[in-house]
Amino acid sequence: MNSFKKQKICSYTYKSHLRVILKSEYKKQLFKDLFKKHSSLKCSKIMKISRGMLYHYKNDRVRSVPLTIINDIKELLDVEQYELDKNTIKILSSECVKNFGLDLGREVRRKQLKKFRMKIPKIQEIIENNALNLEKWFFHYKKLIDFGCREIKSISRKENYLEIIYTNYANGKKKSFKTLLPRKIVLNEDFLYFFGLWVGDKAGGGRIGVVNKDKLLNFVTLRYLKKLYQKPVFDLYIHKNTKMPNLDYKIDKVIVVDSSHNGYAIAVYATNGILKSFFDYLDNNLDALLSMISHKNVFFAGLFDAEGNVLIEASSFRWSCKNQEKRKIFVKHLKTLNLFHRFDDSNIVSYNKEIFSKQILPFIKHPKKINNTNIVCFGHGVLPKKFKEVLLFIKENAGQTHKEIAKALKRVYVSSHINVLRRLSYIRKEGYPHKMYINQKGVAALSHGGKDA
């Protein structure tokens, strides 16, 4: 708390915004003497404050006293200045006192909220019969809601969900809202995949949903949110310099943004702050939750569709993760699946094709990632554009060396692309320095749009 340097009270005679903290016993005696000499009614009229407030000062319920009142008491009792100075602890501004009071209130609120949070059950306590008992969590979390500006008016228990009516402020007015919550969430593959996808690409604010541009993932999100009794919407976020995409499904709202990244993304979400808080609770207890799930590989498949990529050149699978705490959790559990090899500054890397193809690939839904995984694990699929361009060049320019191909295509890393094509038997090398020639398999792939015939 900021305060003025201790100085004589008389030097602040005309500073009406200042307040004085006197020694407690001295202040009590001062007001006691005041009421002996003058009635509280008379003092109230002179000082222009309520009699009740005067008794609050007298009984030391209010720590600081306005300087104007101290000056009035000084005149009414003919108090010596040196007595006041001797018993003054601090002189400070009304703003400081107000902020101090607000800080005290915030601290009380923080302590109370902390007590409520401590009573929220641990993740182990809400897992029952292979399901998350959201209802049990909610009736503890409800105390946090009641402590804020939202006010729950009614809770109706239906067969599989809760119907909650509450009031909150919207556009400066108190309005009534209705929201639905599933009473439980089954720990099945649908949940584990969605939860992994959500952890990687979650929508912000009081929205429960996913931000992605892949149509299939958007509709997977839509279907699962409906299973949770939500009504999802589709918002398109697009950079002001990006051309509007040609989408074959309805968008509810278009938001033009001016960020450092071009392109677009689609948010599929439902506005439900309570359900979002439950998923945040799961996210905050992620390590414990994964430790109790037998099919955690499905979670990592969802996470891979959100934050993963297949590096065909290195035959590796990578989960992008820059959050240090999350990374520790992911690495710990990927190790139990034998899917961790190293961390490369921003990606968790695995080279285990056999495990990945059995544990992760069957649950991935992103078409491009399925295709690229098939190329790495089984040697078939549709070649990405950068490989098709190299393959086509070799077909039309047989007998070129690595260096000549790189120069012609103006690519620095063409050797890694050539190595992939050789590994897939699309091309072969002859002579020295090595010259590249297309194989019949490569010719067939080009005739099928890059797909292995």
Residue 385 pLDDT: 93
> Measured between alpha carbons, how far is 319 from 15 in angstroms, rounded to an integer?
63
Look at residue 101 and tell me whether its pLDDT is greater than 70: no
Q: What is the pLDDT of residues 225-254, one digit of tens each?
A: 999 999 999 999 999 999 999 999 999 999
At residue 383, what are phi and psi to the nearest 5 degrees?
Answer: -65, 130
Average pLDDT over residues 332-341: 97
Q: Where does CATH 3.10.28.10 sit in the chain? A: 288-378
Reply yes or no on whether the pLDDT at 400 is more than 90: yes
Percentage of residues in the chain having pLDDT higher than 90: 61
CA dist list (Å): 448 to 100, 372, 373, 376? 74, 17, 19, 19
Give the pLDDT confidence score for residue 452 in this predicted structure.
Answer: 67
Instruction: Render the burial of 215-240: b for 16+ CB within 10 Å, e for the rest.
Output: eebbebbbebbeebbbebbbbbbbbe
Write down the pLDDT at residue 76. 85
Reported pTM: 0.76
Q: Which of 77-81, 111-115, 122-126 has the highest mean pLDDT?
A: 122-126
- Please check whether the domain covering 9-99 is classified as CATH 1.10.260: yes
Give the rounded distance of the alpha carbon of 446 from its chain centre: 44
Residue 103 has pLDDT above 90, yes or no: no
| Whether the predicted pLDDT of 69 surpasses 70 | yes
Mean pLDDT within 374-389: 94
User: Contact 189/294 with Cβ under 8 angstroms?
Assistant: no
pLDDT at residue 193, as a whole number: 98
Cα→Cα distances 305→57, 156, 309, Å: 65, 37, 8
Q: Where in the chain is the domain with CATH 1.10.10.10?
A: 385-447
Q: Which CATH class is domain 385-447?
A: mainly alpha
Q: Assess whether pLDDT exceeds 80 at residue 117.
A: no
What pLDDT, on a 0 to 100 scale, did the predictor assign at position 107? 59
Q: What residues contact residue 247 under an 8 Å CB cut-off, 6+ apart? A: 215, 236
The residue with greater pLDDT, 63 or 85, is 85
pLDDT over threshold 70, residue 205:
yes
In degrees and rounded to multiples of 5, residue 149 shows phi and psi of -80, -20
Q: In this structure, which long-range contacts are made by residues 97-100, counting pairs with CB atoms below 8 Å and at least 24 apart in sequence? A: 97/19, 97/64, 99/1, 100/1
Confidence of residue 279 (pLDDT cuts 50, 70, 90): very high
The predicted-structure confidence for 145-186, as pLDDT tens digits, reads as follows 766 667 888 999 999 999 999 888 777 778 888 999 999 999
pLDDT of residue 260: 74
Q: How far apart are CA 149 and CA 146, in angstroms?
A: 7
State the fold for domain 288-378: Endonuclease I-creI (3.10.28)
